[in-house]
Amino acid sequence: MSAEPISRREIRAAARKRSDRQNMLIAALSTIIVIGGGILLVTTRQGWPVVQETFFSVDAFRMSFPDILRGFWIDVKLFLVVEVLVLIFSLLVAVLRSTRAPALYPFRLISAVSTDLFRGIPTILVVYLIGFGIPALALPGVPNDPIILAAIALTISYTAYVSEVFRAGIDSVHPGQRGAALAVGLSRAQAMRFVILPQAVRNVIPPLLNDFISLQKDVALVSVLGIVEAFRVAQIEAASTFNYTPLLAAASLYVIVTVPLSLFLDRMQKRDRGRRRLEEARR
């Protein structure tokens, strides 16, 4: 009586193992054929040496990489500063827009209008407008440093996007949560801070990370202001040597930063989906 279920379980496990092994073998074979074949196909073409020399030149890489890396450091610094500013301002805007206090009405109006406005304007245009427009005014006491202006432009543009993400997060919290927070005696501000915002932020971490990744790439837009960040350096090198390897080198630097972020995001979304299913199953 007890021997039978065990042997059945063993049979099933063995069958599963067999099919797993088979699947893996097929996947490996198929990968070798498709990717290996592709590489073979490309590298045996007549034009391949020219392609290799133009895009994958070891010499050009060695020559340009240190400068590009130095330029990339500007990208990283700019990204980090702008990211923090964007997080602060967009959270402020989102919270402001969810308040009802009549005294704050003008601020709500301004943030609503500017959000809609700046979401509609291409980021590169905002960078251009602020980066060249403000110095043209020659106002006393206003910064002229292109890096500062670039940071301001990116912050304005991205605050418009990210504040909407936070606002969606605040809306996603069940209204009963606010009721419960008020019912235990918290003030409106405390309810926002301790009960609504923590849940709102948690709900929007995936879209938030998505916007981080976009920003990390859009930092390259500041090159239009003549800031010699990675893309600009690569562009100059490429133009003077007619070799595109520096551009690929710059691209790989951006990828090195964004890919781990994307992978992290994927994992998080998967976990989130799993958790949600679990919650639904409990209901």
SS3 122: coil
In Å, what is the CA distance from 188 to each residue of 77, 90, 93, 194, 203?
Answer: 37, 20, 17, 10, 21
Which CB sits closer to other proteins, 182 or 209?
Answer: 182
Q: Which of 149, 195, 230, 253 binds other proteins (CB under 8 A)?
A: 195
CB of 191 to other proteins, least distance (A): 10
Q: CB of residue 94 vs other proteins: minimum separation in angstroms?
A: 18
Which of residues 182 and 228 has its CB atom nearest to other proteins in the complex?
A: 182
Question: How many alpha carbons lie under 13 Å from residue 232 in its C-beta half-sphere?
Answer: 18
* Distance (Å, whole) CA 50 – CA 53: 5
Considering the rule CB under 8 A, would residue 205 count as an interface residue with other proteins? no
> Segment contacting other proteins (CB under 8 A): 57-65, 69-77, 170-178, 205-213?
170-178
- Contact set for other proteins, span 135-154 (CB under 8 A): none
Contact status: 281 vs other proteins (CB under 8 A): no
Structure-token pair, residue 37? 């074949």
Query: Which residue from 1, 136, 138, 184 is in contact with other proteins, where contact means CB under 8 A?
Result: 184
Q: Count CB atoms within 10 A of the CB of residue 78.
A: 21
Mark the segment that binds other proteins (CB under 8 A) among 40-48, 78-86, 193-201, 224-232: 193-201
- Applying CB under 8 A, the site for other proteins has a residue count of 20
Q: Cβ of 55: how many Cβ atoms within 10 Å?
A: 13
CB of 123 to other proteins, least distance (A): 33
**Using rule CB under 8 A, residue 179 touches other proteins:** yes
To other proteins, the closest distance from the beta carbon of 95 in angstroms equals 17
Instruction: Based on the shown chain and the rule CB under 8 A, indicate whether residue 194 belongs to the binding site for other proteins.
Output: yes
Q: How far is the CB of 205 from other proteins (least distance, A)?
A: 13
Residue recorded with tokens 């209204």? 175
Q: Counting contacts by CB under 8 A, is residue 274 touching other proteins?
A: no
Contact 230, 220 (CB under 8 A): yes
Segment interacting with other proteins (CB under 8 A) among 5-13, 39-47, 195-203, 206-214: 195-203
**Residue 247 CA: distances (Å) to CA of 1, 84, 137, 192, 199:** 70, 28, 34, 46, 42
In sequence order, the 6+-apart residues with CB closer than 8 A to the CB of 219 are 75, 78, 79, 82, 154, 229
183 is a contact residue toward other proteins (CB under 8 A) = yes
Q: Angle at Cα 219 formed by Cα 147 and Cα 217, nearest 5°?
A: 170
Kindly state whether residue 268 participates in binding other proteins, applying the rule CB under 8 A.
no
Q: Is 199 in the site for other proteins (CB under 8 A)?
A: yes
C-beta separation of 230 from 72 below 8 A: yes
Interface contacts to other proteins, rule CB under 8 A: 174, 176-177, 179-187, 190, 194-195, 198-199, 202, 279, 282
